[in-house]
Amino acid sequence: MYSLGFTKRIVTFDFFPRSVQKSIVFYGFRRRWTVGIWLNYQKQMMALRPVKNTQNETCIPFGEIRSVEVVGDEYTKTIFGGVGVGSFFGGSAKSEGFNRGLQVRITTGNIRSGTNAYFLNLWEPRLGAKLNKSDPNFKAIQECARSIIDEIEIIIQESQSVEKEHSEREVRQCPYCSEDILATAKKCKHCGEWLEGK
Query: At what angle are helices 136-168 and 18-26 packed, to 10 degrees?
Result: 100
Cβ contact 4:45 at 8 Å: no
Contact between residue 102 and residue 133 where contact means Cβ atoms under 8 Å apart:
no
CATH number of 2-71+100-170: 2.30.29
Separation CA 8–CA 39 (nearest Å): 5
In this structure, what DSSP letter does residue 6 have?
A: -
164 within 8 A of 132, measured Cβ to Cβ: no
- Domain parsing of the chain, residue ranges: 2-71+100-170
Torsion over CA: 132, 137, 140, 142 (sign): negative
Q: In Å, how far are 68, 118, 184, 191 from 34, measured between CA atoms?
A: 19, 16, 48, 49
The share of the chain scoring above pLDDT 70, in percent, equals: 75
Chain centre distance of CA 24:
24
pLDDT at 80: 55
Average pLDDT estimate for 1-27 = 85
For 26-82, write each residue's pLDDT tens digit: 888 777 778 899 999 999 999 999 888 777 889 999 989 999 998 865 655 565 554
Greatest CA span in the chain, whole angstroms?
Answer: 101
CA dihedral for 142, 148, 151, 152, sign (positive or negative): negative
Q: Band the pLDDT of 93: cuts 50, 70, 90.
A: low
State the average pLDDT for the chain.
80
